[in-house]
Amino acid sequence: MSRPLVVIPTYNERENLAAIVGRVRTAVPDASVLVVDDASPDGTGVLADELAAADDAVQVLHRAGKAGLGAAYLAAFDWALGHGFDPIVQMDADGSHLPEQLPAMLAALAGVDPAGEPVDLVIGSRWVAGGSVENWPKRRQLLSRGGSAYARWVLRLPTRDATAGYRAFRADGLRRVRLDDVHTRGYGFQVDMLWHAREAGLTIAEVPVTFVERERGRSKMSVGIVVEAMLHVTGWGIASRFRRTSRTQPASNDGSATRRSRA
């Protein structure tokens, strides 16, 4: 893992972009940065081009319009794998993910889990021992904790922070994920991606991080977005359990169980 890439999706993040890119380059000097801009009307894409012109380690992927966080990350993953980067990191542009904590995440990604298996995915977790959030109202904390707990229960995920967006993948692990089956484009993308990573057999570790609420610009989070994501989670959980039931149902002599499993 000698070519780290930090992917930063943007939409109207001109106030925050230069600072976060500079902090990434300071925290991990050998890391490159890929800014994925969805045609931000505030000029974020123009600023990204200026940063790239001043620093060869900064690249920009311009997209035609706002198509959702998931679409931006999937496009970035395809670009990163095609250009030979490893590992590949997800990070928000608004400063909520601290670049100064990235070295600890990369160190965990270079290690093994308690069973001695190489780690494929590291999640910067708010909800493990040592993790925390700053400047969040109690209602927002409950919403995030509740969303993670619900996703863990429905999808049988072992990860404490299922909705976290600060993540680092080994390239080999990311290639094993069926990215064509990850269809969610909004907030639910993080859970969708985690679920598919788990289904692909990736070894997942959590590292405690501090999540800091943005100081500039408007948050794109809302209760409606979270509810929509949880509805997706419910559907995935039902489909997953139905598939498990179909696979384990014994066949009868007349083949009726086989017919039911294919229905």
pLDDT tens per residue across span 213-227 = 866 555 555 555 556
Angle at which helices 102-109 and 14-27 cross, to 10°: 50
Task: Give 148's Cβ-side CA count (13 Å radius).
Answer: 18
Alpha-carbon span 33 to 21, nearest angstrom: 7
Whether the Cβ atoms of residue 240 and residue 196 lie closer than 8 Å to each other:
no
Of residues 226 and 142, more confidence is placed in 142
Of residues 4 and 236, more confidence is placed in 4
Whether the Cβ atoms of residue 37 and residue 31 lie closer than 8 Å to each other:
no
The set of residues, in sequence order, having a beta carbon less than 8 Å from that of 77 and lying 6+ positions away, is 7, 88, 174, 179
Of residues 180 and 222, more confidence is placed in 180
Averaged pLDDT, 227-245:
60
DSSP state of 68: -
Please state the domain extents for the chain.
5-262
Averaged pLDDT, 232-249:
58
Of residues 219 and 166, more confidence is placed in 166
Tokens of 106: 């990369």
DSSP state of 9: E
CATH code assigned to 5-262: 3.90.550.10
pLDDT tens per residue across span 94-132 = 999 999 999 999 999 999 988 899 999 999 999 999 999
Which one-letter amino acid corresponds to residue 36? Answer: V
Q: If we measure between CA atoms, which residue out of 130, 157, 128, 122 comes closest to residue 145?
A: 128
pLDDT tens per residue across span 181-197 = 998 877 789 999 999 99
